[in-house]
Amino acid sequence: MNAPLRPLADNVVVQAEQVQTQTASGLLLPGSSTEKPAAATVVSVGPDVKNVSVGDKVVYNNSFRGTDVTIGKESYSIIKEEDIVATVE
């Protein structure tokens, strides 16, 4: 997993899981019904990050104050390490 972004300080670049657009029973969800996911995979970490590493799956505060970036067809979020609330094992 190589992100084209190199975060500074205690910033973490994550790539969110795909948002489901269909229910288990096959119903299509309109765009406004889907929430931004709060789970993501870490793709790059800044030099001051201590608790997560590249490849970790994390849960972050859904009301984070991060920055969304799209490069090519890939979307990334840059968040502070303090906004990560858990890692998924």
Q: Average pLDDT across each block of 10 residues of the chain; the chain has 89 residues. List them in order.
A: 86 82 69 64 96 95 83 93 93
Q: What is the CATH number of domain 11-19+31-88?
A: 2.30.33.40
Domain ranges of the chain: 11-19+31-88
CA 18, distance to chain mean position in Å, is: 10
State residue 16's pLDDT score.
Answer: 86
State residue 25's pLDDT score.
Answer: 79
Q: Give the 3-state secondary structure of the chain.
A: CCCCCCCCCCEEEEEECCCCCECCCCCECCHHHCCCCCEEEEEEECCCCCCCCCCCEEEECCCCCCEEEEECCEEEEEEEHHHEEEEEC
Reported pTM: 0.78
